[in-house]
Structure 1
Amino acid sequence: MPLDPALARLANATLMVPFESHHAPRWVLEGLADGVSGVCLFHNNLESPEQIRALNARLGEAADTPLISLDEEGGDVTRIGQARGSDYPGNAALGAVDDTGLTRDTHREMGGHLADLGFNMDLAPSVDVNVADDNPVIGTRSFGADPALVARHAEASVLGLHDAGVVACAKHFPGHGATSQDSHHVLPRVEAGADVLRERELRPFRSAVDAGVRSVLTAHIEMPALGGPGPSTLNHHVLNRVLREELGFTGTVVSDAMEMQGVSGDIGIPEASVLAVAAGCDLLCLGRFVYADQVAAVRTALVEAVQQGRLSGERLEEAAARNAELRAWARERAALRASAPAPGGVGLSVARRATRVEGAPPRPHDPLVVEVDAPPGVAVGEVPWGLAPWFADTVRVVPDPAAAEGLLTRARGRDLVIVVRDAHRYPGARDLVLALLAGRPDAVVVEMGLPIWRPGTGVYVSTYGAAHVNSRSAAELLGAEGALQGASPTV
């Protein structure tokens, strides 16, 4: 039976869809023409600046200012820098520098780059307060563990993206920094009391709202002290009493990806989407792999939920209206935006300032660089990292201490540089580093994640991130030839 056209168009207005290729498929263009609010692009959609501009122009022709978005946080989570790493440092580096002017400048330049490519919405910044050292999904995506620091940089990053005419989206509400679980796989639960959560998790979101953020992205995380069980994405109290009434947010509530197990694992994407809209989500970010047939199933589920009385038509209309307002705001800001300035190199400047050295500044001669591999998170994906672009003799090894003997033999008579990423989270990596240092206490250790675990070595370098500019900053410090030459921008 055909869907009611008016309800189907209202349901479409709640959707932000992904697609498969470098070209917009017919089902996406027809969906945009029939009211779908926007798209979310991933690295599988991005090939070159020319291709991205052509793709986004075609998407823009299908409707009046659809939301064309991506997850471009800079740092480790990058889409436009997926091929070699980002030219913009991540939040951890910005927090380490703690210069809100630089944070605003960085996001203004990054936003200008996105706008020049045809994007009008960035699912950033992450304003989670990373208080769990073993957090598998936030880490360097956070400005830090201090709520006041995160709050002031949340404001600066929102303002910077808005300066560039790009919609900012503060995430992951009400905060994903106090858990050691990943909502891509499970539903994390934070047991802290309401007073702690308000002062710690909510403080940066309050700053983002005060800065005029137009969209907030939910977390699939459970915080009973804020309003009962279940993921915040499906929690009416958290989205309305806390976000809207307590924090005063009036813009668009965007869901985190509905394909994630933390929200839809037990009930499926269509049902989770119905419950999310009923709870107060206005725009459903469906994820990376939810394509035509599944999008149609979500649309059908929303329409049938209204017809069955499980979802009010008024709630669907409210969501559609908020999304239309967001698109109008994006259109107005784009009209006011000047042409994108040439990249000013602010990203490398921040990365240099964020890089820390404990011990004598190292200048190794003919080094063997040993990179200890670390698995990428789901949000990060396969993005190059490390020092290989600047040091010819670089080897990437699995974190196994049994490899130490062969590596020490190979490094005999040469300097040794050991590169790790979040070594505090991987016992095998720590054991390998300690085994190497037992034979070579003069080795340089470079930490490209969070500098939480510090081995007993004479020289320890921390970069607060593994973006291209963070890697280059470390290479400069180590005296790599060519590291001081100009960098070409990503994508």
Structure 2
Amino acid sequence: MSTDPGLRRLALRTLLAAFPGTTAPPWALDLVGEGLAGYTLFGFNINKATQVAALAGALRGVRSDVLVAIDEEGGDVTRLAHATGSPYPGNAALGVVDDTDLTRRIYRAIGDDLAGTGINLNLAPTVDVNTADDNPIIGTRSFGSVPERVAAHAAAAVAGLQESGVAACAKHFPGHGATVADSHLELPTVDAPLDLLRARDLPPFRAVVEAGTRAVMSAHIRVPELTGTAPATFSRAALVDLLRGELGFTGTVVTDALEMKGAALAAGGTARAAVPALLAGADLLCIGAKVDAALVEEVAAEIAAAVADGRLPAARVEEAAERVAALAAWAARPAPGFSPPDLGYAAARRAVRVEGALDGAGVPLVVQLVSSSTIAEGRVPWGLAPHLDGQEHLRVVAAETDIAEVLARAGDRPIVVVGRHAHRAPAARALIEALAAKHPVAVVEMGWPSSWRPAGARAFVTTFGASHANGRAAAEALGLTGNHGE
């Protein structure tokens, strides 16, 4: 049975798709002409600013109000700078500096970068309150663990971003900061009473609603007292009763990627997640990164079939499409301004915290511990290597490293060990403490900080993020930088 053309077009108006490559394939352009709401760009779509501008221009040449979205959070999650690392510190560093005007200016600069390439919807800022120290997916993407501070910076970020005409999308409602699981891989549970949720997780969302955020992204997390057995993306109690009713949000509700396991497993597949999301009150459905024409058609067909057989009211889909159209109209003409080119690096310097001092003769040996990246971060370069002034640099796997060999390599030189979430890895902790017991060692921690301090270390440097800007700030703090890449 073929899909009704009118219902197909209505369904397309609620979809945010993706495509491979650095130019839009013909099918992607055709779908824009047929009503598709827009596309999310990922690192694989990007090689330089002029190419992104041409890509956005090609999409906009088909339809002027198409949404061109991206996850550009600054810090550890960057798409524009995926090849080098972001020139901006992320939210954790901004929260430590605790200057809301600086946060506004950083996000205005990010908005200017996006607007200059024709991108008009940023799937940021992350406004989750990171209360779980070992949170595997939020961490340095959060402004911190104190709700009031996160709320203040979240509002500033939205204001700065939207000054450039780029729509903000605050995420991940109703709060992903208390999880110890990654919703890309499973359905996390936040087993918190509503009173705790209101006091701990919701203040930043209330703040961004009051600041005028054009969009809010739902989380694929389960809060039993609020969402029952379903993720928030499929919960009308979360998206309508709480977000719209209690918090007063009138903009566009965007889903996190439906391909993520937190949604797809709960629904029985990516396409089948579309209908419960719309029924729950979502407006713009982010399909994900691995998308082709066939998947877009499958999602649209699921929606159209549900409308046709009465499972999904047509009025609900029309309401969603109208909210998406209003978002697109607001963001149709992003207007870049001018931000100081060194703004992000100056901000990262303010965030660095140094405990102790690295004393010892000679130029240090820099040892970077290999660590995995989250799906949100992707494989973005990090560390001190781009900023060194001739110092020897090694990349090692902690569990496979011979301590004697490292000590012999260092000789009379002190050692700087660079890690990300080193406290979470027993092998990393053991390596650092074994080196520090026999040699002058400084540690640079570029992940979410902890109370762990390795016994014997002469210095401990915390950057609150692993962006290009954070790396330079750490190298400068230790006197290692040659300021390469300025």
Paired residue type of 2:69: S
Pairwise mapping of residues 11-410 of structure 1 onto structure 2 (< 5 A)? 11-266=11-266, 267-331=268-332, 334=334, 337=335, 339-341=336-338, 343-360=340-357, 365-391=362-388, 392-400=391-399, 402-410=401-409
Change (3 A) 1:362 1:140: farther
Q: Which moved more, 1:209-218 or 1:456-465?
A: 456-465
Q: Which moved more, 1:416-425 or 1:86-95?
A: 416-425
The alignment of Structure 1 onto Structure 2 pairs a total of residues equal to: 481
Q: 1:187·1:263 contact (CA, 8 Å) conserved in 2?
A: yes
1:404-432 Cα offsets, whole Å, 9 max, x none, are 22111111211110111011222221111
Q: 2:129·2:142 contact (CA, 8 Å) conserved in 1?
A: yes
1:317-354 Cα offsets, whole Å, 9 max, x none, are 000000000011112x53xx3x5315432111110000
For residue 481 of structure 1, report the CA deviation from its aligned partner: 4.4
Q: 1:162·1:168 contact (CA, 8 Å) conserved in 2?
A: yes
Distance 1:362 1:210 in 2: 50
Q: When the two structures are superposed, what TM-score results if normalisation uses the length of structure 2? A: 0.96
Distance 2:321 2:475 in 1: 49
Change (3 A) 1:433 1:54: same
Aligned equivalent of 1:477 = 477
Q: Which moved more, 1:262-271 or 1:189-198?
A: 262-271
Paired residue type of 1:403: D
1:416-473 Cα offsets, whole Å, 9 max, x none, are 1011101122222111111111222x21111111220222322111100000000001
Q: 1:363·1:479 contact (CA, 8 Å) conserved in 2?
A: no
Distance 2:255 2:339 in 1: 33
Q: 2:447·2:463 contact (CA, 8 Å) conserved in 1?
A: yes
Distance 1:5 1:227 in 2: 34
Q: Which moved more, 1:263-272 or 1:86-95?
A: 263-272
Distance 1:362 1:466 in 2: 25
Aligned equivalent of 1:446 = 444
Aligned equivalent of 1:421 = 420
Q: 2:472·2:481 contact (CA, 8 Å) conserved in 1?
A: no
Secondary structure at 1:200 match in 2: helix
Q: When the two structures are superposed, what TM-score results if normalisation uses the length of structure 1? A: 0.96
Paired residue type of 2:280: A
Unaligned 5+ runs, structure 1: none
Change (3 A) 1:416 1:231: same
Structure 1: 4+ residue segments shifted above 6 A: 361-364
Distance 1:40 1:454 in 2: 40
Change (3 A) 1:480 1:258: same
Cα RMSD, aligned residues only? 1.4
Change (3 A) 1:362 1:298: farther
Change (3 A) 1:283 1:416: same
Q: 2:358·2:442 contact (CA, 8 Å) conserved in 1?
A: no
Secondary structure at 1:168 match in 2: strand
For residue 229 of structure 1, report the CA deviation from its aligned partner: 2.1
Distance 1:313 1:352 in 2: 53
Q: 2:111·2:164 contact (CA, 8 Å) conserved in 1?
A: yes
Q: 2:155·2:211 contact (CA, 8 Å) conserved in 1?
A: yes
Secondary structure at 2:416 match in 1: strand
Distance 1:364 1:114 in 2: 45
Q: 1:134·1:424 contact (CA, 8 Å) conserved in 2?
A: no
Paired residue type of 2:3: L
For residue 200 of structure 1, report the CA deviation from its aligned partner: 0.7
Secondary structure at 2:253 match in 1: strand
Secondary structure at 1:94 match in 2: helix
For residue 56 of structure 1, report the CA deviation from its aligned partner: 0.7
1:380-406 Cα offsets, whole Å, 9 max, x none, are 010001111233411111121752221
Paired residue type of 1:407: V
Pairwise mapping of residues 452-467 of structure 1 onto structure 2 (< 5 A)? 452=450, 453-456=452-455, 457-467=457-467
Paired residue type of 1:418: V
